A and B are shown apart, each in its own frame.
Chain A
């Protein structure tokens, strides 16, 4: 194999002339980070609510939360993304659908991606939150109720403060996953990191340099997240529990 390595390709002005190919990569990185972090906010908020609902003694609420988790866990992410992007605008009332389809294409792709990733991940976060709540000794809830707390107060003051601390380590891996899963959004044309990598191949015919750069970028994100989460884990861990001191 006689492959011509050319790392200088990143410094060449891009085909559109207004940037270098390295600039494309950074634009992709920025998109990946923006997308993943926005989706993570949605996933955390919804996941916490759904996870709590799965543990409450109310058939309807718990049933709703279970249906939510099963729905988002048993359909592939790619299929969900295509449904958000291609199907939902058709099913909205016509005026909304048209307004959406006439909006900026990047906005369309980005909003579908954020919602898709956020809701997909919320089901996984919910499972971790539920496991965290269920791992607490039953006596904690009973003690809260016996002290005269209402059920919401028991959750607010007794169960959740513990559960949210216990749940941080398993959430680290979900947080890592959201960055990796965001690469799926390249399939609808959103120019995040993986998509920029492919575009670079088309424009420069230097596939190895471009794929190596993208791969290194993902590994870097992974390492940075792990280091930051390790700090957080050390900070919030509960003495006396697994991994605690």
Chain B
């Protein structure tokens, strides 16, 4: 191996990389929260006996799951800025990349979350819902107090695992040159001619974060569902 490593550009770039990491985390957090809320609604629509609702939810979920995330992001970077500019009367060319990325990820991940949540709801025995009705609960009460509360308890590990995947996927905002953690690392590496070191460093940071998080999830799973 003849390559001479030079890690000296990393320490000075740490504040910039940290800002990037915060962007990645912001996108992840928003997408997880919106994904779970909108995903729950989608799952309930999909399981609904109202045909238009279940068709809409099925179409939404299947569409988003059939298209690559890169393509979805490109769509959102194309559409969202125009839409928001018109809606709020912003000057054309306002930097809306972060907003677009957030909306794109939130709507995309909702499709994946809704599939997890649908499976979770279906894993709750049907008798639970009937029992709630027999006790005089309305549908929203029965869903909230009986079905969803049990379903979510079972789903926690899967929801968290999906959040880890989502965190990794946020690196794809690279297609819009947004400085998330990976984008920041790439920019520094490109600027200093130290792409090798910065890419390896970025890989290491992602690995440490995701590996620790998934180890925690596994432990949590063992604690609540000792197999």
Which residues 178-199 of A sit at the B interface, judged by CB distance below 8 A? 179-184, 186-187, 194, 197-198
CA–CA, A211 to B214, complex, Å?
A: 35
Nearest CB on B from A41, distance (A): 20
Which residues 1-41 of B sit at the A interface, judged by CB distance below 8 A? 1-3
Complex contact B182–A86 (CB within 8 A): no
Interface of A is mostly: helix
In the complex, chain B residues whose CB is within 8 Å of the CB of A77 = 168
CA–CA, A180 to B2, complex, Å?
A: 36
Complex contact A82–B206 (CB within 8 A): no
Sample of 19 more A-B contacts, CB < 8 Å, known A87-B195, A93-B1: A73-B210, A73-B214, A76-B206, A78-B171, A79-B171, A80-B203, A82-B199, A87-B200, A179-B68, A180-B67, A180-B68, A183-B69, A183-B71, A198-B74, A211-B75, A211-B78, A218-B71, A222-B66, A223-B66
- The verdict on B169 contacting chain A, using a C-beta distance below 8 Å, is yes
Q: How many residues of A contact B (CB 8 A)?
A: 40
- The verdict on B196 contacting chain A, using a C-beta distance below 8 Å, is yes
| Proximity string of chain B (180-193) to chain A, C-beta cutoff 8 Å, 1 when within and 0 when not | 00100010000000
Closest residue of chain A to B186 (Cβ to Cβ) is: A82
Could you list some 30 contacts between A and B, CB below 8 A? A71-B207, A73-B210, A73-B214, A74-B168, A74-B207, A74-B210, A74-B211, A75-B203, A75-B207, A78-B172, A78-B174, A78-B182, A83-B199, A86-B195, A87-B200, A91-B1, A91-B196, A94-B2, A180-B68, A184-B68, A194-B71, A194-B74, A207-B78, A211-B71, A215-B67, A215-B71, A218-B71, A219-B63, A219-B66, A222-B66
Nearest CB on B from A200, distance (A): 12
Complex contact A187–B207 (CB within 8 A): no
CA–CA, A218 to B186, complex, Å?
A: 29
In the complex, chain B residues whose CB is within 8 Å of the CB of A218 = 66-68, 71
- The verdict on B97 contacting chain A, using a C-beta distance below 8 Å, is no
In the complex, chain B residues whose CB is within 8 Å of the CB of A71 = 207
- The verdict on A214 contacting chain B, using a C-beta distance below 8 Å, is yes
CA–CA, A202 to B196, complex, Å?
A: 30
Complex contact B68–A183 (CB within 8 A): yes
In the complex, chain A residues whose CB is within 8 Å of the CB of B199 = 79, 82-83, 86-87
Closest residue of chain A to B208 (Cβ to Cβ) is: A74
Nearest CB on B from A244, distance (A): 20
Give the number of A-B contacts (CB < 8 Å): 100
CA–CA, A92 to B70, complex, Å?
A: 30
CA–CA, A215 to B75, complex, Å?
A: 10
Complex contact B3–A90 (CB within 8 A): yes
In the complex, chain B residues whose CB is within 8 Å of the CB of A187 = 70, 174-175
In the complex, chain B residues whose CB is within 8 Å of the CB of A87 = 195-196, 199-200
CA–CA, A80 to B172, complex, Å?
A: 12
In the complex, chain B residues whose CB is within 8 Å of the CB of A211 = 71, 74-75, 78
- The verdict on A227 contacting chain B, using a C-beta distance below 8 Å, is no
CA–CA, A220 to B203, complex, Å?
A: 33
In the complex, chain A residues whose CB is within 8 Å of the CB of B67 = 180, 215, 218-219
In the complex, chain A residues whose CB is within 8 Å of the CB of B182 = 76, 78-79
Nearest CB on B from A189, distance (A): 12
Among A80, A82, A90, A194, which residue has the most Cβ atoms of chain B within 10 A? A82
Complex contact A75–B69 (CB within 8 A): no
In the complex, chain A residues whose CB is within 8 Å of the CB of B211 = 70, 74
Complex contact A74–B206 (CB within 8 A): yes
| A181-B68 contact, Cβ under 8 Å, with A78-B171, A79-B171 | yes
Which residues 142-188 of A sit at the B interface, judged by CB distance below 8 A? 179-184, 186-187
CA–CA, A87 to B199, complex, Å?
A: 8
CA–CA, A179 to B74, complex, Å?
A: 17
- The verdict on A1 contacting chain B, using a C-beta distance below 8 Å, is yes
